[in-house]
A and B are shown apart, each in its own frame.
Chain A
Amino acid sequence: MKRKMLALAMAGWMVFSLTACGNGQTAPATTAAPGETATEKAADNKDTGEQETQTGEKEESDTKEAASGAVSADSFAPAKDFNIRVPFAAGGSADTIARIIGQGLQKTYGKSAVINNLTGANGAIAATDLNGAKADATELMVGGIAMFTLAPLFNKDLNLSMDDYQFVCSLVSEDQMLFVAPGNSGIEDWAGLEEYAKNNRVIYGANAPGGATHMLQTMLFGEAGIEAEAVTSDGSAKDLLAVAGGNVVCAAATSSLGAQYVEEGTLVPILVFSEEPYTGYEGIEVPTAKSLGYDVVFKTCNFLMTQKDTSPENVAAIYQAILDYSETDEFRELAANASYIPDLSDGETVEKTIRDAEAMCQEAYDTYYVK
């Protein structure tokens, strides 16, 4: 009997541990007391009822506020917790940013913000999950520019269309640049790379075709008529390491990723894929690819999006809440710790950025990849 009891207790304990862990890749952003869920749900249902009436009453004034560009954050009263889908693994920079933003939404609205890491298929798995949820401003997703631009070109199964979504705001955008290691290859600038390429095939580090760094370098070397081939990896940090270790000649990566290497003097940025020269590194002005005669401009961008049918007023309110939170000391501290330089442009700007990139990716695909 004693044994049976023990066995049952063990079994119960194991199953309890399981249920307590819940969803594998889901990390709750806050501590919700056990047993709170049911009550909260009931309250949620009640809230939903109230919410509908509130929304109805508020609709007119909200639209006015939105039109005047001054929607207040509290014009939206969420009926349930926020679910923020992140198509990247926990611990990465996009995930960290999502958690900071989630913290802000949580503070503003008093509802938990659950970060749900749904990785895979270039964001299509997370997007499918978003599509399956109800159109509500609490159902959100962090997207990346490649999911609408490059991924559908390379994998026809991924028919994600940006027309199906509404963009809340951008979260971060960064310049991509090309790095070399003078200590290994003797190359110090673009002219040096061109010279090197006269007698050698250029081996560059990049992610697999379908990723931004692969496309940028394919376009650049294609336009420059340089014979080049990629050694692929699953992250730009590894590509930079390969440059530093002398296994590849150059690699493209974001400015922040290269910062420590540049400061140390191991790597040198030789061009930036942006409209303006980059002056973020001390004492270095990185020329644009455009100024060197190659029209390749691309910014890595992560943004917050929701379903198309979500009320634009509520989306505007959330955007305002994020803007308000970004002014707080707490946000500044979290952002500074995470070396996060926010770019909180509005949804329209995000849409325009993606459309511009879409055209360029299509051109690159047709010119260099279809062949």
Chain B
Amino acid sequence: MGQVIAAALANLFTVQNLIFTNIGIFIGIIFGAIPGMNGNLAITVLLPFTFQMDTVPALLMLTAIFFGSNFGGSISAILINTPGTNAAAATLIDGYPMCKKGQPQRALDMALVASATGGLISAFCLLFFAPQISKIAITFGSPEYFALAIFGLSVIASVSGKSLVKGLISGGLGILLATAGIDSVSGLTRFTFGNLRLYNGIKMLAVLLGVYAIAQMIGRLNRTEEVVVSELKEIDKEDHITIKDVKKTMPTMLKSSFIGAFIGAIPGTGGAIASFLAYNEAKRCAKPGEEFGKGEIKGVAAPESANNGATAATLIPLLTLGIPGDVVAATLLGAFTMHGLVVGPKLFSSSGPVVYAVLIGCVISQLLMFFQGKYLLKVFVRITHIPQDLLTAILVVVCCAGAFAIGSSEMDVYVMLFFGGVAYLMQKVDFPPVPIVLGMVLGPTAEANLRNSLVMSGGSWSIFVRRPVCLAFIILTFVLIVLLKKGDTKQRKATDRFMKEEE
């Protein structure tokens, strides 16, 4: 083992690796920050170039893109209320209100610190506990996935705003939208209307761009955002993160990072689910005076440490079991394969020095991301200085191009525009947009696994209480909903008291 690590370190510490990791982080942050673009796209574009490179720098660059893009997604979420990636959808709930309060730099700094913390914890989990975690992942069958999805859907309760019923309706719409396409259990098509482009279903990212970016642009056309514009320009002079902020959010970051690492290690989940669960947990533990949804710094720290916490952990099932946990991992699988690394149970014994070099490199990537982010954010925060008319015009172009880029199809642009209109109307009648995202992410997992579970049990629902992990998730779901309800009332009372005392 010692020899393997020594060989890995020798493979790792080269100037070439340092340069390519930095390039990867930079590309990742940029791709993550542009709405519609994401890490997977960047990795796909660069994949052919890496075939000519040495194994370690190639894999370090590609994994660095993955990490960078997950952080980059938060930049547009915070600054322009449009998540750059699916995983950043939870960040904007508190990130954008912080920006509106004149604290864009503080929110971005928090996102960076949280992302780096989450990334580091995730990378350490990957380095030290990959085989153990994969043993847990292997026990996950359809019933466990179903219970996990229901657990995730319970988050709707905490992101519904004033009306739970409206939140549930939004969530239901998300689940319904996700049913379009070829049904993964029966193989039959649903809601495709004979259109080949709909066979793959409605693209999540296109809906996301519509619901956030386009609905917002339509709002701006109506000039209802004038107030926001004037607020945005008055940036707080004290707009930066403080040691006090870091101390205050540290427990939230650590907890969220572990939630992220756990969720990331389960194939078929990913950063989006992790960030919502972490947000939910942070909100549940809210202290008096902390107003989630209105620019609470913990509301940025939690989802950001969770979505980066899920990144390196996504590589656990890929490397140890050969199962790509999400779409990025599937693309990375191609890179590993082309470099002669046969992922699976024997990877660590057959290619130890290279694999450990990449894994230790993952830890270092997080630190490099932190330093690069520190300087890049100063540039990004200037987006808030762009005149709103110009920014709106640029964003519409960027979003249309981004939507087209999802699947090289104009269909996704229409989907984005359509849902932009729908979301605008929904916002007019106070329907929250976040549950749509949750429904779309978790609906298909819940549905397919419910049906598969019932196949396994011969139609008996008792399968969900007979399996311990599954039962644990179901109990957790109920407990959380009750606590959240209680906490909500308590927090509201406490906040009222706090406000009175302040006065």
Q: In the complex, what residues of B have CB within 8 A of residue A203's CB?
A: 455-456
Residue in B34, B330, B404 whose beta carbon sits within 8 Å of that of A24 in the complex: B404
**Binary CB contact string for chain B from 334 to 347 against chain A (1 if under 8 A, 0 otherwise):** 11011110101110
Considering the chains assembled together, what is the distance between the CA atoms of A170 and B408 in angstroms? Answer: 27
* A87-B502 Cα distance, complex, nearest whole Å: 62
A14 to B323, CA, bound (A): 35
- Say yes or no: B383 contacts A10, CB within 8 Å: yes
Within A66-123, which residues are at the interface with B (CB < 8 Å)?
Answer: 89-93, 95-96, 99, 103, 115-122
The complex places the Cα of A263 from the Cα of B346 at a distance, in Å, of 9
- From 1 to 27 in chain A, residues with beta carbon under 8 angstroms from any chain B beta carbon are 3-4, 6-7, 10-11, 14-15, 17-18, 21-27
A237, B184: Cβ atoms closer than 8 Å:
no
In the bound assembly, the distance between CA atoms of A125 and B407 in angstroms comes to: 11
* Interface locus among B41-49, B216-224, B284-292: B41-49
> How distant is the Cα of A311 from the Cα of B154 in the complex, in angstroms?
59
* A120: min CB distance to chain B, Å: 4
Residue of A nearest to B458 (CB): A201
Across the interface, do B405 and A155 meet the contact criterion of CB distance under 8 Å? no
Across-interface contacts of B386 in A (CB, < 8 A): 7, 10-11
* Residues 386-416 of B contacting A (Cβ, < 8 Å): 386-387, 390-391, 394, 397-398, 401-402, 404-409
What's the nearest-Cβ distance from chain B to residue A15, in Å? 7
A24 engages B405 (CB within 8 Å): yes
Query: A157 with B196: in contact, given A18-B398, A18-B401, A90-B331 (CB under 8 Å)?
Result: yes
Counted as pairs of residues, one from A and one from B, with CB atoms less than 8 Å apart, the total is 201
On whether the beta carbons of B187 and A154 are closer than 8 Å, the reply is: yes
Give A37 to B339 CA distance when docked, in angstroms. 30
Verify if A152 is at the interface (C-beta below 8 Å from B).
no
Contact with A along B370-398 (1 / 0, CB 8 A): 00000000000011011100110010011
Complex CA gap A116/B187 in Å reads 25
* Contact of A103 with B51 at beta-carbon distance under 8 Å, contacts A15-B398, A24-B407, A231-B455 already known: yes
| Cβ of B164 under 8 Å from chain A | no
Q: Does the CB pair B456–A245 fall under 8 Å?
A: no
- Could you say which residues of chain B place their CB within 8 Å of the CB of A117? 44
Is the Cβ of B337 less than 8 Å from the Cβ of A339? yes
Whole-angstrom CA separation of A6 from B382 in the bound complex: 9
Could you give, for residues 148-178 of chain A, a 1 whenever the CB lies within 8 Å of some chain B CB and a 0 otherwise? 0000001101100000000000000000000
A120 touches B187 (CB 8 A): no
Contact A245–B196 (Cβ < 8 Å)? no
Q: Is B452 within 8 A of A119, CB to CB? A: no
Contact A120 B34 (CB under 8 A): no
A29 to B44, CA, bound (A): 10
Interface: A247 (CB within 8 A): yes
Q: From residue 153 to 187 of chain B, which have CB atoms closer than 8 A to chain A?
A: 182-187
Q: How far is the CA of A237 from the CA of B186 in the complex (A)?
A: 19
Could you say which residues of chain B place their CB within 8 Å of the CB of A339? 337, 342
Residues 213-246 (chain A) with a chain B CB within 8 angstroms: 214, 229-234, 237-238, 241-242, 244-245
The answer to the question of A315 belonging to the interface, with a C-beta cut-off of 8 Å to chain B, is: no
Number of B positions contacting A (CB below 8 A): 76
Is A7's CB under 8 angstroms from B196's CB?
A: no
Q: B141, B402, B408, B458: which has the most chain A beta carbons within 10 Å?
A: B408
Residue B57 lies at the interface, judged by CB distance under 8 Å to chain A: no
In this complex, what residue of B is CB-closest to A115? B48
With A14-B398, A91-B324, A245-B140 as contacts: A21 and B45 at CB distance below 8 Å: yes
User: Does A182 count as interface, using CB distance less than 8 angstroms?
Assistant: no
Q: Name the residue in A22, A232, A244, A245 with the highest tally of chain B Cβ atoms < 10 Å from its Cβ.
A: A232
Cβ contact within 8 Å between A120 and B327: no
Cβ of A28 under 8 Å from chain B: yes
Q: How far is the CA of A266 from the CA of B135 in the complex (A)?
A: 13
Cα A4 to Cα B45 in complex, Å, equals: 32
Chain B residues near A96 (CB-CB < 8 A): 334, 337-338
Question: Does A232 lie within 8 Å of B452, measured CB to CB?
Answer: yes
Minimum CB–CB distance from B179 to chain A (whole Å) comes to: 14
Q: Which residues of B contact A210 (CB under 8 A)?
A: 182, 187
| A238/B45 in contact, CB under 8 A | no
Q: Which of B31, B141, B199, B408 lies in contact with A242, CB distance below 8 A?
A: B141
Residues of chain B with a CB closer than 8 A to A155's CB: 182, 189, 199
Chain A neighbourhood of B321, CB < 8 A? 241
- List which B418-467 residues lie within 8 A (CB) of chain A: 448, 452, 455-456, 458
Nearest CB in chain B to that of A263: its residue = B346
Tell whether, in the assembled complex, residue A90 and residue B385 are in contact, meaning their CB atoms are under 8 Å apart: no
With contacts A24-B408, A27-B47 taken as known, whether A245 is within 8 angstroms of B34 at the C-beta atoms is no
Q: A30-B48, A238-B267 are in contact. Are A264 and B345 (CB under 8 A)?
A: yes
A90 contacts B197, C-beta separation under 8 Å? no
B111 within 8 A of A: no
- A208 CB-CB contact with B under 8 Å: yes
> Does B332 count as interface, using CB distance less than 8 angstroms?
yes
A273 to B: closest C-beta gap in Å: 20
Given the complex, which residues of B lie within 8 Å of A38, measured CB to CB? none
Contacts of A337 in B (CB 8 A): 337-340
Does A124 lie at the interface of the complex (its beta carbon under 8 Å from any beta carbon of B)?
Answer: yes
A91–B335 touching, CB < 8 Å: yes
Residue A61, interface by CB 8 Å: no
Q: Which residues of A contact B327 (CB under 8 A)?
A: 89
- Given known contacts A18-B398, A125-B196, A232-B185, is B45 in contact with A119 (CB within 8 Å)? no
Residues in B with CB closer than 8 Å to A242 are 141
Taking A90-B47, A91-B331, A92-B334 as contacts, is the C-beta distance between A247 and B456 under 8 angstroms? yes
Does A367 count as interface, using CB distance less than 8 angstroms? no
Determine if A208 and B37 form an interchain contact, defined as CB atoms under 8 angstroms apart.
no
Contact present for B200 and A17 (CB under 8 Å): no
Q: Is A277 an interface residue (CB 8 A)?
A: no
Give complex CA distance A57, B232 in Å: 69
A68 to B404, CA, bound (A): 47
Residue among A99, A201, A334, A338 with the most chain B CB within 10 A?
A338
Residue among B183, B337, B394, B452 making CB contact with A14, cutoff 8 Å: B394
Residue of B184, B346, B407, B409 touching A232 (CB-CB under 8 A) = B184
Give chain A nearest CB distance to B390 CB in angstroms.
6
Q: Is B34 a contact of A27 with CB atoms below 8 Å?
A: no
Which chain A residues lie closer than 8 Å to B142 at the CB level? 231, 247
Say if the beta carbon of A31 comes within 8 Å of chain B. Answer: yes
Residues of the A chain whose Cβ atoms lie less than 8 Å from the Cβ of B41? 21, 24-25
Q: How far is the CA of A29 from the CA of B182 in the complex (A)?
A: 30
List B contacts of A26 (CB < 8 A): 45, 408
Verify if A209 is at the interface (C-beta below 8 Å from B): yes
**Cβ B385 vs Cβ A3 within 8 A:** yes
Per the 8 Å Cβ criterion, residues 31-55 of A in contact with B are 31
Q: Is A260 an interface residue (CB 8 A)?
A: yes
Residue contact A18 to B34, C-beta cutoff 8 Å: yes
* Min C-beta distance of A354 to chain B, whole Å: 20
Contacts A91-B335, A120-B200, A231-B452; is A260 near B346 (CB within 8 Å)? Answer: yes
A residues at B contact (CB < 8 Å): 3-4, 6-7, 10-11, 14-15, 17-18, 21-31, 89-93, 95-96, 99, 103, 115-122, 124-125, 128, 154-155, 157-158, 201, 203, 208-211, 214, 229-234, 237-238, 241-242, 244-245, 247-248, 260-261, 263-264, 266, 334, 336-339
Q: What are the 6 A-B residue pairs with the smallest beta carbon separation, nearest first? A: A91-B334, A24-B405, A337-B340, A247-B141, A209-B187, A121-B199
A–B pairs, 25, beta carbons within 8 Å: A7-B385, A7-B387, A10-B386, A11-B394, A15-B394, A17-B31, A17-B37, A18-B398, A21-B41, A22-B405, A25-B405, A27-B46, A90-B44, A91-B331, A91-B333, A92-B330, A119-B407, A125-B199, A155-B182, A201-B458, A230-B455, A241-B321, A245-B138, A245-B141, A247-B141
